[in-house]
Amino acid sequence: MERQSELQKIKDAQELNEYLERAKELAVMPIGQVLLREGAITEEMLNDAIKLKKVMPDKRLGDVLLDLGMVDNKTLQLLLYRQIGIPSVDLDGFTLTHELTSLLPAAVARKNTVLPLLNLNNTFVVASDPGCVKTHKHSTGIILGTLRQG
């Protein structure tokens, strides 16, 4: 499906900032609405999947869309992560600055398997492989933490 090619990883700090500003809005949307809003499916496709789901109540809407070939697994996974506030980023678009490295020393970054991405209004944003986070209760691709002065 051509529309799915529009769903790309976040490429730079500006895109990440824009994403973080609207992430709360996505979190309260049902996955069908997220897929529709992000251009992964059409309204007609969503309505067809909802009708089919009614006769298959044990199936999740995302699985129905997958079974019908209306969305691929990669797109669904990307948007499920976005729905819960975990964007997918292309690290090539981010520059490791002295400001970021001074806030997160290399030894700490290595120990926690994180990479500093940006300082957004005194909120430190780092990237991590969700399976590698050791110091947080919940694994996420983007970890937000308030910076402490001093």
Each residue of 88-98: pLDDT tens digit?
777 888 888 88
User: Tens digit of pLDDT for each residue in 83-130?
Assistant: 877 777 778 888 888 888 887 778 888 887 888 888 877 777 888 765
What's the domain range around 79? Answer: 1-90
Task: Give yes or no: residues 129 and 99 share one domain.
Answer: yes
Task: Give yes or no: residues 44 and 104 share one domain.
Answer: no
132: pLDDT strictly greater than 60: no
Task: Give yes or no: residues 100 and 84 share one domain.
Answer: no
SS3 label, residue 139: coil
Task: Give yes or no: residues 82 and 36 share one domain.
Answer: yes
Distance, in Å, from the CA atom of 22 to the CA atom of 131, rounded to the nearest integer, reads 25
Task: Give yes or no: residues 73 and 137 share one domain.
Answer: no
Number of structural domains in the chain = 2
SS3 label, residue 145: strand
Task: Give yes or no: residues 73 and 19 share one domain.
Answer: yes
Instruction: Report the predicted TM-score, pTM, of the whole model to 2 decimal places.
Output: 0.57
